[in-house]
């Protein structure tokens, strides 16, 4: 509601309190779950509350309803705890109000009329903005859209990228399983290992030593599409937080890498190995035809990572998608002059919207001379690597590799 990101807000909250890993996990599950189900919870509450509420009172209703309806906590236990908390912190009148609303909402929820129009109904049942549902129904049809919304509303898996120069995936897998972490192997890359719970992983000594990082498997594919070799001069043109830059270093330590971003604070640990530059891709300071390869992981709508960042679906507006697309085309055009003929431009976004993916490539054909190369070996599609969450179970992601012809 204040425009922040869930992960950063949670980290700030946890840093001020002494909580166990189990307590942090519960707080995060409830917080992220309430954000996921916000539209449904608002719709339910609106049937029983016709006056303005203070944000903290509305939040108490959301959290209590989420615990009963989605975490399957006992009704009487949640209501009693919520009322007791409200009585201590907000006074008896608010406690009585919450008690009445919660009991009515939980008793009458199944009798409330849903909209007859299918997309309006889906917006409430699946708790997504109606404009997103209409957009995706137009692309995928109603049944596949419901599948997409379902996967985006589930608790995410997290993928680790293992530094194979230091340990094998099998060694890391055995290590984590010995500590009670449930894992599964990635299907696309040998560095990818999935885990169900992130908390134990972030406190693991191997994470602190940098032997693995958290990075989705499709995102890991970007450095492989660059295909760095010894002596190659590579520009990572929107580098922060440095995850892909670090991966390029691991794949080829003898490559020469320039990492540029408007914000470089998170890139500073890479300074001994790469050249850091605070700069703007659109107005970059580089000479023409200087780089062998350019990587642009472009700013985007981020609709492909809603599963991990559910706040995105409430922050984005329909006009954001074409706005980002125009910016993305401009970034590629500006950087194109810095690429040598015969060099490769790798373009990626954590989105599956046509305007930000295939349409960007088609718009660039009007201005630039290039051929498309498969960014990865099988199972890449004909010309792109495209991850749709309801088909891959992974983040939504797009990756293209363009060879400069002249």
What is the value of pTM for the model shown? Answer: 0.92
User: For the residues 7-12, what does the mean pLDDT come to?
Assistant: 76
* Reported confidence tier of residue 71, pLDDT bands at 50, 70, 90: very high
Across the chain, what does the average pLDDT equal?
93
pLDDT digits (tens, 9 = 90+) for 304-335: 999 999 999 999 999 999 999 999 999 999 99
* Reported confidence tier of residue 260, pLDDT bands at 50, 70, 90: very high
**Nearest partner of 262 among 281, 244, 234, 275, judged by Cα:** 281
* Reported confidence tier of residue 200, pLDDT bands at 50, 70, 90: confident
Which residues have CB under 8 Å from 387's CB, separation 6+?
218, 304, 352, 394, 395, 396, 397, 398
Q: What span, in angstroms and rounded, lies between the C-alpha atoms of 314 and 184? A: 31
pLDDT digits (tens, 9 = 90+) for 144-169: 999 999 999 999 999 999 999 999 99
CB 234 within 8 A of CB 220: no
**For position 8, what pLDDT does the model report?**
74
User: For the residues 241-268, what does the mean pLDDT come to?
Assistant: 94
Q: Distances in Å between the alpha carbon of 6 and those of 78, 110, 137, 157, 315?
A: 24, 30, 27, 17, 12
**For position 197, what pLDDT does the model report?**
85
pLDDT digits (tens, 9 = 90+) for 77-110: 999 999 999 999 999 999 999 999 999 999 999 9
Tell me the Ramachandran region of residue 180: left when phi exceeds 0, alpha when psi lies from -120 to 50, beta otherwise: left
**For position 23, what pLDDT does the model report?**
83
**For position 382, what pLDDT does the model report?**
62
CB 215 within 8 A of CB 191: no
Token digits of residue 281: 């891709």
pLDDT of 215 over the 80 cut = yes
User: For the residues 254-277, what does the mean pLDDT come to?
Assistant: 92
Q: Distances in Å between the alpha carbon of 179 and those of 95, 192, 389?
A: 43, 19, 29
pLDDT of 393 over the 90 cut = no
**For position 212, what pLDDT does the model report?**
96
All structural domains of the chain, each given as residue ranges with its CATH number in brackets, are 6-111 (1.10.940.10), 118-152 (no CATH), 158-214 (3.30.70.1170), 217-404 (3.40.50.150)
* Reported confidence tier of residue 2, pLDDT bands at 50, 70, 90: low
For residue 103, the SS3 value is helix
**Nearest partner of 79 among 46, 121, 107, judged by Cα:** 107
Angle among Cα 70, 73, 77 to the nearest 5 degrees reads: 140
For residue 297, the SS3 value is strand
Ranges 96-105, 157-166, 194-203, 361-370: which has the least confidence: 194-203
398, containing H or E segment: strand 397-404
**For position 217, what pLDDT does the model report?**
93
* Reported confidence tier of residue 14, pLDDT bands at 50, 70, 90: confident
**For position 380, what pLDDT does the model report?**
47
**For position 377, what pLDDT does the model report?**
63
User: For the residues 231-252, what does the mean pLDDT come to?
Assistant: 96
pLDDT of 123 over the 90 cut = yes
Q: Going along 99-217, which residue ranges are E strands?
A: 158-162, 183-185, 192-195, 212-214
What percentage of the chain has pLDDT greater than the value 70? Answer: 98
């Amino acid at each position: 509601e204040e425009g922040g990101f869930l992960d950063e807000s949670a980290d700030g909250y946890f840093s001020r309190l002494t909580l166990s890993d189990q307590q942090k996990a519960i707080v995060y599950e409830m917080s992220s779950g309430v954000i996921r189900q916000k539209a449904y919870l608002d719709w339910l509450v609106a049937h029983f509350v016709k006056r303005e509420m203070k944000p903290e009172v509305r939040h108490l209703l959301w959290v209590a309803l989420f615990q009963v309806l989605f975490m399957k906590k006992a009704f009487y236990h949640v209501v009693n705890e919520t009322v007791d908390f409200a009585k201590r912190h907000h006074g008896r009148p608010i406690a009585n109000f919450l008690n009445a609303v919660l009991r009515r909402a939980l008793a009458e929820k199944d009798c409330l009329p849903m909209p007859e129009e299918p997309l309006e109904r889906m917006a409430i049942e699946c708790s997504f903005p109606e404009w997103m549902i209409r957009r995706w129904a137009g692309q995928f049809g109603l049944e596949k859209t419901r599948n997409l919304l379902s996967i985006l509303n589930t608790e995410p898996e997290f993928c680790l990228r293992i530094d194979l120069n230091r340990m094998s995936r099998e060694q890391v897998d055995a290590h984590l399983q010995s500590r009670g972490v449930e894992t599964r192997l990635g299907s696309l890359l040998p560095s990818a290992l999935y885990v169900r719970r992130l908390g134990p992983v972030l406190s693991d000594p191997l994470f602190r030593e940098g032997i693995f990082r958290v990075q989705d498997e499709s995102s890991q594919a970007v450095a492989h599409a660059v295909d760095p070799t010894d002596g190659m001069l590579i520009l990572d043109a929107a580098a922060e937080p440095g995850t892909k830059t670090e991966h390029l270093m691991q794949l080829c330590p003898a490559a020469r890498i320039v990492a540029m971003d408007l914000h470089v604070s998170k890139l500073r640990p890479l300074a001994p190995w790469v050249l850091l530059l605070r700069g703007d891709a659109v107005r970059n300071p580089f000479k023409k035809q200087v780089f062998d390869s350019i990587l642009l992981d472009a700013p985007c709508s981020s609709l492909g990572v809603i599963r991990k960042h559910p706040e995105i679906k409430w922050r984005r507006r329909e006009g954001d998608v074409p706005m980002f697309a125009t910016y993305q085309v401009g970034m590629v055009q500006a950087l194109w002059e810095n690429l040598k003929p015969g060099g490769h431009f790798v373009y990626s976004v954590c989105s599956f919207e046509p305007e930000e993916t295939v349409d960007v490539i088609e718009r660039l054909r009007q201005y630039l001379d290039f051929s498309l190369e498969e960014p990865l070996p099988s199972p890449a599609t004909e010309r792109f690597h495209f991850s749709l969450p309801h088909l891959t179970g992974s983040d939504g992601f797009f990756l293209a590799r363009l060879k400069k012809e002249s």
